[in-house]
A and B are shown apart, each in its own frame.
Chain A
Amino acid sequence: MLLIPCPWCGERVEAEFRYGGEAHLKRPDNHLLCSDETWAEYLFMRRNPKGWHRERWMHLAGCKRWFYVVRHTQTHRIAAAYKVGEAWPALPA
């Protein structure tokens, strides 16, 4: 079971959270005019790395706020959690 450090509430068990997938996806500015390829890239294509992953979590059973976590997809180790709008912490080596 993951222990997730909510930046607002502190460490809580995974069951209190909702996962939101890859973080920092940027919706195309001109989404009505952009190409199908650009739209597909935004909507469907994912990095899905075997390694460090920036991802979104929401503390459903707590503050109900979305935030970001840096987690390793093979070891499940969590290196950092940060609020929306904060500077991105660097990925561990």
Chain B
Amino acid sequence: MRRYSFVQLLRNAIGLGDGWQQAWRSPEPKPAYDVVIVGGGGHGLATAYYLAKNHGVTNVAVLEKGWLGGGNTGRNTTVVRSNYLWDESAGIYEHSLKLWEGLTQELNFNLMFSQRGLVMLAHTEHELNEASRRVHANRLNGIDAEILSREQTLAFVPILNGSKDIRYPVMGSSVQKRAGIARHDAIAWGFARAADALGVDIIQNCEVTAIRRDGSRVVGLDTTRGSIDARKVGLVAAGHSSVLAALAGFRLPIESHPLQAMVSEPIKPVLDTVVMSGTVHVYVSQSDKGELVIGAGIDAYNSYAQRGSLPILEDIASAMIELFPIVSRLKVLRSWGGIVDICPDASPIIGKTPVEGLFINCGWGTGGFKATPGSGWVLADTIANDRPHPLAAPFSLERFTSGRLIDEHGAAAVAH
């Protein structure tokens, strides 16, 4: 892998270089691998990268039915934060945030990670109390968090509607200053390029059609590009996890729903942080191009369609206009949907499955982007050592039988 650098950029710009190299190979699938990861989004590619880098397991393939990062990795609103309520969540999301902080250098790929802070608005007394509880819980877990008063909040985000006459006036907020946004494609491409350099085969346009078992043990996969033997398999397919689990003969507590987002036309810089509101229900940041990147809640019904309904977009738009009246004349440039894997407790499922040698990482629902590196790190460790990584252990599939749920619904305000 040729390193990207300013000098290389300069040489290629003035024609002295020999052009840009391909970022990763597109090999034909081999007949067998030590580990096959199903799903070429950020989480799957991160898993392959850390398998190779941290555990020396390089005979690895990543199978992607479409193109890299074409699912939820390319369809989210790129928020990265770790201010979750429960200890288990704080552990894995903060591990992930710490990885984000050094990842651009490590992968030699500009992830455009911008720690511009994230403000969670409180519009009721109850939300103020909840924010206070969460900030204290965050601090006990070593995560930076602060409470801002109403005046401090309005000074931090000057375009916020400060009127006391709106349905839900801003009463204060909590802020995590190390939170921010990143470039969604870059995390997939950066991990893909780095994993490929370590010997991982990245195979696109390759859909899994069957999961082969020998008794209780997984032995391989049938795909649209032929049969592949595998000693271990990791399923990292977000919204399609239930479909893959059905192929392997078990069920998940997951339901797939569309989550929509939209961007406005580009405008001059007006918002230098991320703003989230659980009560008015919208979250927004401004991209480097100037577009406002806006998201909110899921469509209620099960769907695999990668598109949602107009009423949801209307709700998002009305919430935006309530909180930020200056955007009322802006045009929506485009909107889209991704299929998110909603888990009953709004926490992921990471670890072993009823099938030996078959591992799963799913259930991130509406908030998986931020966890990309941490999720890959712990799943790689779990696969390599055949036991749950300590940070992943509480997120086992077994918790739905034991009843030890990690309820982040509401606890973390909007679950993103």
Contact = CB atoms under 8 A, between A and B. Distances in A.
Interface of A: 1-2, 14-15, 18-19, 21-22, 36-37, 40-41, 43-50, 53, 55, 71, 73-76
A46 B255 contact: yes
Given A2-B301, A76-B303, 9 more contacts: A14-B309, A14-B311, A18-B300, A21-B302, A37-B401, A44-B400, A46-B255, A49-B243, A55-B301
B305 A1 contact: no
A45 B251 contact: yes
B304 interface: yes
B401 A55 contact: no
A38 B301 CA distance: 25
Contacts of A22: 255, 302
A53 B302 contact: yes
A44 to B, nearest CB: 4
A72 to B, nearest CB: 9
A75 to B, nearest CB: 7
Contacts of B256: 48, 50, 73
30 contacts: A1-B309, A2-B309, A14-B309, A14-B311, A15-B311, A21-B255, A21-B302, A36-B402, A40-B253, A43-B400, A44-B253, A44-B344, A44-B400, A45-B251, A45-B252, A45-B400, A46-B251, A46-B252, A46-B254, A47-B242, A49-B242, A50-B242, A50-B304, A55-B301, A71-B301, A73-B256, A73-B304, A74-B303, A76-B303, A76-B305
Contacts of B403: 36
Interface residues on chain B, size class: 20 to 34
B310 interface: yes
B183 interface: no
B116 interface: no
B302 A73 contact: yes
B238 to A, nearest CB: 12
A42 to B, nearest CB: 11
Contacts of A55: 301-302
Contacts of A53: 302
A64 to B, nearest CB: 17
Most chain B CB atoms below 10 A, which of A19, A21, A22, A73: A73
A50 B344 contact: no
Contact of B305 (A15, A46, A75): A75
Given A40-B400, A75-B305, A1 B254 contact: no
Most chain B CB atoms below 10 A, which of A46, A49, A75: A46
A48 B310 contact: no
A40 B401 contact: yes
A68 to B, nearest CB: 13
Interface in B234-277: 240, 242-243, 246, 251-256
B242 A48 contact: yes
Given A44-B344, A45-B253, A46-B242, A1 B301 contact: no
